[in-house]
A = this chain, B = another copy of it.
Amino acid sequence: MKIPRSHPRYGSLVTRETLVAAWKAGIVVPEGLIAHGRGEAFDYLLGEETSAPALVAEKAAAAFLVRAKSPVISVNGNVAALAATEVVRLARAIPDKLEVNLFHRPPARVHRIAGVLRKARAKEVLGLRPDARLPGLASKPAFAQRAGIYGADVVLVPLEDGDSTEALVRMGKVAISVDLNPLSRTSRTATVPVVDELTRAIPNIEKFVRELLEDAKEAARIARTYDRAGNLKATYSFLNWRLRNLLRGPKKKR
């Protein structure tokens, strides 16, 4: 099907097609499609652009990544489908490891996702030989690699669920989430919750990483002064303001 460029939801429809194609290719699972829909709804409410509080969180994320001893970016099917190029660019900038980290983990799927990352010019992709189990996940077994997420001090977990994010935080790691729902368990649990759309958030973080790599003092200051609770509060205020405006004047379609 050809989506007409004039369609009022052209951008959303194209992204949906990308995800459905990735599902057909065995990259994305059906649960990932449902999760994408939830994100879409929140992105719509947030105005489909990076908010001021999101930008603050993205800069903090960059500071933690730059200062990390052993940073890792976790990549699942949706992330590979929507932002392989962006995460690989970010990983190369830090430099940082990439680990395929899946809930639904048949080996063929892990290999396909690793393939997508390599095609996007990733140097090294972990996750193919998990050798450790994350503790404290009742509902599912979660495996990771000692050289990767398991041993990392800072983990970027875009589009991750609440259970996994919570497990990482409980292990004492700095978990940076990217999740459009500011009320999700993921956003409420992460050390640095970034409430923004993935393909906007990752390049923003990369830009800040490049800046902060040049200025270690500034990176230290940002990591030290980052106010998680204040930032979430600002995000809630922003969403509230957006909604007041949206709900005041929705135009009736004729």
Count A interface residues, CB 8 Å.
Answer: 48
The reply to whether the CB of A189 lies closer than 8 angstroms to some CB of chain B is yes
Smallest Cβ-Cβ distance to A103: which chain B residue = B1
Smallest Cβ-Cβ distance to A185: which chain B residue = B253
Flag if B183 contacts A7 (CB, 8 Å).
no
Flag if A252 contacts B188 (CB, 8 Å).
yes
**Cα(A4)–Cα(B137), bound, Å:** 12
Copy tally for this chain in the complex stands at: 2
Q: Mark A173-188, 1 if CB is under 8 A from B, else 0.
A: 0000000011101001
The reply to whether the CB of A139 lies closer than 8 angstroms to some CB of chain B is yes
A66 to chain B, nearest CB (A): 26
The reply to whether the CB of A33 lies closer than 8 angstroms to some CB of chain B is yes
Identify whether the interface residues of A are mostly helix, strand, loop, or mixed: helix
**Cα(A247)–Cα(B234), bound, Å:** 10
**Cα(A124)–Cα(B114), bound, Å:** 50
Flag if A34 contacts B36 (CB, 8 Å).
yes
Flag if B253 contacts A247 (CB, 8 Å).
no
Smallest Cβ-Cβ distance to A247: which chain B residue = B236
Closest 5 CB pairs of A and B: A37-B37, A41-B41, A236-B247, A33-B33, A34-B37
The chain A residues found within 8 Å of chain B, CB to CB, are 1, 3-4, 7-8, 16, 19-20, 23, 30-31, 33-42, 44, 138-140, 162, 166, 181-183, 185, 188-189, 229, 232, 236-237, 239-240, 243-244, 246-248, 250-253
